[in-house]
Amino acid sequence: MGRKRHRNKAAAAAVAAAAAPVASLPVDMLANIHARLSFLDRLTFAAVFRTSRDAFKPEAPCLLLHGTIFSLAERRAAAVRAPGPDHAVLGSSSRGRLVTADDRARLCLLNPVTGERRALPAIDTSPHIFAHGGRHHFTVDVKWFLRGPPPYPYGTMTYTTERVRHALYRKVVLSDSADVAMLITGPEYGVAAFATAGGGAWRLAPPRDGIEPIPTSEAGSWRLWHSRNGVEDAVHHEGRFYSVTYSGEVEAWEEREADAAGVFTSAVVAPSLLLPADTDHRKYLVVAPAGRLMVVLKETTGRRTSPSFKVQVLDASRQGWKETDDIGEAALFVAVNGSLCVSTREHPELKAGCVYYYTEDDLGPYDDDEENGVRVFSLKDRRTETVEGLGWGRSWPPPAWFIPSIP
């Protein structure tokens, strides 16, 4: 082991020595060199010349699948310091970090390009989740995870570690600095929880009306499913977390005063979306390059039917939503574990006015062997194309959109 560390240090010293003459070049010249390199060489170059990285052109979104990054722009793949084969990706940040959950339901912050990693608080640091059986099972006090009008039931739900990743983990959204993480629980609940740097625990967001749920003996029959004001998706933008509920309300989140550090509450900041009543749909909250909030609606009419997409944009005064098929020089990348909107002016190899998606957008277990792949939906033409060379059999874990970056 000692010899290996010595060899690694020697190799790093050799790279630094070789790069020294180049490092003295003007930043614009380094950026020019960076732009002429291939995908994998650009990542290596950015890692060596970190101090100049802000001048380099950002990478286009890639697909992270089974320890490999696939570049859509160049149709090439690169091996990375990926999470283990059983790690599910729950989210990504603009600074190249991923949030993963392993087969023991442990959460981790990871940069697959640099290998930097950091553990996030365990899910049972929430006061309403309890680990037992050697941390192979987790029990949830259900009433704290339900939203909406009463009655609230007595009782608990117990999950294996595998089921925790489906029931309690839907998505994790990071602040720009990764000092705050927002966990969206699975569709059975839709409750948000927050963890702050140094806090060491997940804190459930209280109900919006501030009334804590009280179980009643008259609860009667109830169904474990998200309420209309449960959180479906979220983003971090301009220093704040924003979310969209299953009913189509957009909320902004703020941390409470110092006497309740780590507790975040929400307020509705925009009118409700206009949602279709006759189709199944999923909502993705995205920030446009110009800074406006957009919601992408994915509509399906059957499991064997290709989905269609619609986009609603919030106006500058946040007084209303406008449906549009013209998103300008931008391309959308949507998925349950992270969505992006990127400029096609910066990345002309991508198709403007289109939505990129992969066919199995679900963190749940797959139930057949149909081939999966990446598709491109044109908002104006209402047509779908297949991205060639990116097909794979259905398997766990699902892929994730990701922009490689060197912090």
> Do 78 and 126 fall into the same domain?
yes
Asked if residue 178 belongs to a domain, the reply is yes
Most distant CA atoms of the chain, gap in Å: 77
Lookup: tokens for 211: 């009334």
Asked if residue 9 belongs to a domain, the reply is no
What averages of pLDDT result for each successive group of 10 residues across the chain (407 residues)? Answer: 47 51 78 87 85 85 82 75 76 86 91 86 94 93 74 78 90 92 89 89 83 55 64 94 94 80 89 81 91 93 80 91 95 94 92 91 54 88 87 70 83
Q: Could you list the residue range(s) of the whole structural domain that residue 35 is in?
A: 24-57
pLDDT the model gives residue 93 = 84
Contacts of 350 (CB under 8 A, 6+ apart): 60, 72, 73, 331, 342, 344, 356
- What residues does 110 pair with on adjacent strands? 98, 117
> Do 166 and 302 fall into the same domain?
yes
Asked if residue 364 belongs to a domain, the reply is yes
Q: What is the dihedral of CA 182, 184, 189, 190, to 10 degrees?
A: 90
pLDDT the model gives residue 258 = 59
> For residue 152, what is the DSSP state?
B
Task: Check: CB of residue 234 under 8 Å from CB of residue 170.
Answer: no
> Do 33 and 71 fall into the same domain?
no
Task: Check: CB of residue 33 under 8 Å from CB of residue 19.
Answer: no
Lookup: tokens for 189: 């609940």
Number of domains the chain is built from:
2
Asked if residue 17 belongs to a domain, the reply is no
Lookup: tokens for 123: 């899910």
Distance CA 172, CA 163 (A): 17
Distance CA 123, CA 389 (A): 38
> Do 319 and 344 fall into the same domain?
yes
Distance CA 163, CA 5 (A): 39
Amino acid 205 reads A
> Do 138 and 234 fall into the same domain?
yes
Distance CA 151, CA 162 (A): 30
pLDDT the model gives residue 8 = 44
Asked if residue 1 belongs to a domain, the reply is no
Contacts of 115 (CB under 8 A, 6+ apart): 81
> Do 66 and 211 fall into the same domain?
yes
Task: Check: CB of residue 137 under 8 Å from CB of residue 163.
Answer: no
> Do 287 and 311 fall into the same domain?
yes
Q: Where are the beta strands (DSSP E) in 259-336?
A: 264-268, 280-287, 293-300, 308-314, 321-324, 330-333
Asked if residue 158 belongs to a domain, the reply is yes
pLDDT the model gives residue 5 = 46
Which of 40, 57, 74 is the last residue before a domain boundary?
57
> For residue 255, what is the DSSP state?
E
Q: What strands lie across the sheet with 250-255, from one edge to the other?
A: 231-237, 240-245, 250-255, 264-268
Asked if residue 14 belongs to a domain, the reply is no
Residue 288's CB is within 10 A of a number of other CB atoms, namely: 18
- Strands 68-71, 76-79: pairing kind: antiparallel
> Do 52 and 191 fall into the same domain?
no
> Do 51 and 70 fall into the same domain?
no
> Do 43 and 137 fall into the same domain?
no
Task: Check: CB of residue 107 under 8 Å from CB of residue 100.
Answer: yes
Task: Check: CB of residue 232 under 8 Å from CB of residue 245.
Answer: yes
> Do 52 and 140 fall into the same domain?
no
Lookup: tokens for 173: 């959204």
CATH code for position 254: 2.130.10
pLDDT the model gives residue 136 = 93
> Do 35 and 75 fall into the same domain?
no
Distance CA 281, CA 300 (A): 6
Asked if residue 393 belongs to a domain, the reply is yes
